Each structure stands twice: as structure tokens, then as C-alpha cells.
Amino acid sequence: MKRLAVYCGSATPRDPLYTETARSVGRTLAERGIGVVYGGGRLGLMGAVADGALVAGGEVIGVIPQALVDAEVAHRGLTELHVVEGMHDRKRAFTDLSDGFVTIPGGTGTMDELWEALSWAQLGYHADPVGLLNTAGYYDHLIAFWEKMGEVGFLRPQHRDLLIVAETLEVLLDRMGSHVPTQPIVRMNAADL
């Protein structure tokens, strides 16, 4: 994995654990020689990931919609800053520029990015690993929901392992590094669907 898209919140939670985790994620990726592709913002966890990687000498590529540049939230100290038209273009750029996806705590935008990465993997639009860093149990309910989708039958057995989960970044990166792509929907017979 040469570059990972990091999905996270643009807010700064009250508990400093989340900001510290974001900064550590950026720093650790840089120390491992893995470039960061992220939302291009300077605020919240986004800014902490970028700053953590930059301080450690890492490559940081931001992808941000023009509207957010106009709102003056763009990080101006990045290796590269790609300004795009809208959110769809942003998510496509994340996929094009990255070899995988890591989601750390965030809100609705983060969830949108995570679910699209999973959906695209399921369909076969990419075969990259999709990781979820479950910091302090933040994603416990989401993980339970993922499992429930499988139990009920909305998540095919061959796609249950698409979401790679760990509580530490080191374990998550190791699991992502050994990711084996599954059979995507576009390569299945109608009878298997």
C-alpha cells in the first residue's frame, strides 16, 4: 500500500483522544512510507491527520470541493491539494489516488465515504482493502450493524470480510496488507445474487 485514503471527521470532539488518534494515524502512515489522501481540510480530525503526517515528513494529498475552499477550510501546507467540483468527484479521486481506505472516527460525511468504499468493493469497482479503526469502541454499533446485515442476508457471505476492523492502527494495517479481494457482484451469476 503506497497511499491510503483516510476518512475522518472535520469536527474536533471534546475528548482529546480522537484528535490524538488522528494525529498518530498521520504520523504512523508517514513513518511507514504510506502517503495520506484525505479531504483536504485544516480543521478537526482531518487537519490532525494531515499535520501528523506532514510533521513526520510524509506525503499528504488533499482532495477538497471548491465550495469548501471558498469557505476557507482548505489546508494550504499539503504536498498536493486537488480542488474538485463536488463530493462525488472527491470520492472518485480518493479511489483513484489510493491503494486502500482507513476510516477513523467521524460523522455523516465519514460514513458516506466508508459505505461508498464498501459498496464499490462489493460491486467490483475497486479491489482495495477497507479498514475501520475502532478507537475506544466508537464503531461498536456500526460493526454490530454490519454483522446484522450478514445475519439477515443483506450482505453476501463472500462480502462479509470486506470490512477490516481493528482497535489499533498497527493491527489494522497488517490485516489490510494481507487483504485478498473477494468475488465482486459484477462477476457473479444472477443465480448467486
Domain CATH number, residue 28: 3.40.50.450
Report the number of distinct structural domains present in the chain: 1
For 38-90, the DSSP string reads E--BSSHHHHHHHHHHHHTT--EEEEEEHHHHHTT-B-SSSSEEEEESSHHHH
Local structure of 141: helix, strand or coil: helix
pLDDT in tens, 123-163: 999 999 999 999 999 999 999 999 999 999 999 998 999 99
Distance separating alpha carbons of residues 8 and 169, to the nearest angstrom:
14
**Does the pLDDT value for residue 171 go beyond 80?**
yes
Q: So what's the pLDDT on residue 116?
A: 96
Average pLDDT over residues 54-83: 97
For 126, the domain range is 3-192
Q: So what's the pLDDT on residue 192?
A: 66
Contacts with 145 (C-beta within 8 Å, 6 or more apart), sequence order: none
**Does the pLDDT value for residue 188 go beyond 70?**
no
Average pLDDT over residues 69-96: 96
**Does the pLDDT value for residue 190 go beyond 80?**
no
**Percent above pLDDT 70 for the chain:** 95
